[in-house]
A and B are shown apart, each in its own frame.
Chain A
Amino acid sequence: MIGAVIDWSAFLFYLFAAVACGFALAVVLSNHIVHMAFYLTLALGATAGLFLLTGSQFVGAMQFMIYVGGTLVLLVFGVMLTAQHRFVSIRTRAGEWITAAVLGGALLMLLGYVAWAVPDWHAAPPAHVPPEQVESTSRLGLALTGVRMDGGSGYALPFVIVSVHLLVVLIGAGYLARARVRVSDAAARKEMP
């Protein structure tokens, strides 16, 4: 019976997983930097879909907002600033590819083995989950302010540290890419006797 086969959450998982993994590989295999950025967008978007599937809606939306909408736009912006013809596709030597493929394959096998090594990790999931356990947004928000209703430790200090870190990064990035003063070429040419 086909109805038994089509479990929508499983189907969606496989769909998102295929998109995420496929485009992650495309990022690796593509040589064209703008295409890579596009594939990365799709891969990260599909990852956000996976987050939504696990019930972590806030993290999924966050992934869309900050990762895909912010970080990647920034990245593409940088790509466009530097995408001169000669830098659009810098080829990698074949030797590097082979080494990377062997090591990557080994790493993948190791991680794949680990993923399926613990029986508890692929035991059948709980049949019924009470909604308040899944609904996590307000608990996330409270945890970030240091309030935990489930007795775990709060995250106020990490949150503050990250905030300060972001501020430092903001200033630092602004400093690195700061505006420089330069006389325009035309004016400089005119200056020359």
Chain B
Amino acid sequence: MATRLEDPRVVEFDVRTDEMLVNMGPQHPSTHGVLRLVLRTDGEVVSEVQPHIGYLHRCAEKIGENLTPRQWIPYTDRMDYLAGMNMNLGWSLTVEKLLRYELPEKARHLRVIICELGRIASHLVGMGAYGLDLGTFSPFLYAFREREKILDLFEEACGARLTYSYICPGGATADLPKGWLQKCEKFLDEFAPVIDEYHALLTTNAIFIKRTAGIGILPAEMAIDYGCSGPVLRGSGVDFDLRRDGEPRYTSMYDGYAFEVVVQKDGHYPRDHKYPPVPKEAVLGDCWHRFYVRMLEVVQSMDLVRQGIEFYSRSKGDWGTPIKLNQKLPKGEAYLETEAPRGQMGFYIVSDGSSIPWRVRARSSSFCNLSVVSELCRGCLIADVPAIVGSLDIVMGEIDR
């Protein structure tokens, strides 16, 4: 059978150069922390990529088996350190599931507000850093400028800017301070026009489209096979979002909220009419779509925060009482998955009846998302490797734990 040029396995080459093994990382500007990618290259063409992980391993799960659930909260912050609030939430919900704890209404809305803000902050970093991976520096700082405002809000609520330990089993450590909601609304009003700036600098930029559209195409089946989740999965056109499709214990948090899962249906994204249309070079599942899904999720989260503010200010009661530090856990196990900014974040807890869990386990989304790298990077150019890895938006703290 004659090999045709369109065959994806074909690598075109001009001059035979010997294959070269190149270490991209663990100290490399665009591997998002301490990821090490071993590239087998033939000139500029990458024939194989192997991710090597474990440089940030801190035994978080083992530590969790020696601390009470509330004591382990700060360690969850350090998993996906760009979305600490969402990590707190996942763990808290899991523990609450084990405890069969019913959350007060106000705490539910507080958690929605905080977690969606956390999602915005996380996507802002993902988006800015993606610009950095493609060689443009300014959007990164524009993104950080806005993220800073979110961090200010968080700081006001919980006193910390990166590792919050704010949401905890039973509710949150404190209620939102006075005037916080107004500040939050002000932020949202200011932030809305800035998104157009990002679209101008990145989404619709000709060079950006050239660099991302049609690159690193992840078919929906492959995404499902590898267990990808979050924007990576939805970027491939799979309509799946745990906020809608998850367990009732999690989805009930979003009861009463109106939102639409960001995924391409019939060639259109919800709300993409507000933005310049999908470029014709873009193929569903490529880097551009993953990026675009994140951009739209930012808008979606802004909507959710606005709704949450409304619900929160209308609801009565308190923000929940955190469980005791050494709360006895019922014998049994609980597993719950939440939709973190990077995808499906699952926590598993097994208790033998003491206050310290017998087994703690985290299922991180970045780990599964990273595992497709070697599939996506086969036959691409070296410059595409950061583009592809960046579009997966991985956080090593979550992978290595």
**B1 smallest CB distance to A (angstroms):** 11
Cα separation A182 to B10 with both chains bound (whole Å): 6
User: Pick the contact of A180 from B7, B13, B40, B48 — CB < 8 Å?
Assistant: B13
Chain B residue contacts of A177, Cβ below 8 A: 14-15
The interface stretch among A103-111, A164-172, A184-192 is: A184-192
CB contact under 8 A between A81 and B10, given known A181-B3, A184-B47, A186-B47: no
Q: Is A138 an interface residue (CB 8 A)?
A: no
In the complex, are the beta carbons of B47 and A179 less than 8 A apart? no
Cα separation A184 to B9 with both chains bound (whole Å): 6
Q: A183-B10, A184-B9, A185-B48 are in contact. List 12 more A-B contacts (CB 8 A).
A: A81-B17, A177-B14, A180-B12, A181-B12, A183-B7, A184-B47, A184-B378, A184-B379, A185-B19, A185-B47, A186-B47, A187-B378
Cα separation A84 to B40 with both chains bound (whole Å): 17
Q: Is B225 an interface residue (CB 8 A)?
A: no
For A, the interface residue count at a CB cutoff of 8 angstroms equals 15
**B279 smallest CB distance to A (angstroms):** 28
Cα separation A185 to B10 with both chains bound (whole Å): 9
0/1 interface trace, chain A 147-187, chain B, CB 8 Å (1 if under): 00000000000000000000000000000011111111111
**Total number of residue pairs linking A and B with CB closer than 8 Å:** 45
CB contact under 8 A between A179 and B9, given known A185-B19, A186-B378: no
User: Pick the contact of B11 from A81, A84, A178, A184 — CB < 8 Å?
Assistant: A184
Cα separation A6 to B262 with both chains bound (whole Å): 80
Q: Is B266 an interface residue (CB 8 A)?
A: no
**B203 smallest CB distance to A (angstroms):** 32
**A7 smallest CB distance to B (angstroms):** 50
Closest to B374 in A: A186
For chain B residues 24-49, which have a beta carbon within 8 Å of chain A?
40, 42, 45, 47-48
In the complex, are the beta carbons of A187 and B9 less than 8 A apart? yes
Chain B residue contacts of A182, Cβ below 8 A: 10-13
Cα separation A128 to B13 with both chains bound (whole Å): 59
Chain A residue contacts of B17, Cβ below 8 A: 81
Chain A residue contacts of B5, Cβ below 8 A: 181
Question: Mind listing 28 A-B residue pairs with CB under 8 Å?
Answer: A81-B15, A84-B18, A178-B14, A179-B12, A179-B13, A179-B14, A180-B12, A180-B13, A181-B3, A181-B5, A181-B12, A182-B10, A183-B3, A183-B7, A183-B9, A183-B10, A184-B9, A184-B42, A184-B45, A184-B47, A184-B378, A186-B40, A186-B47, A186-B48, A186-B378, A187-B9, A187-B379, A191-B9
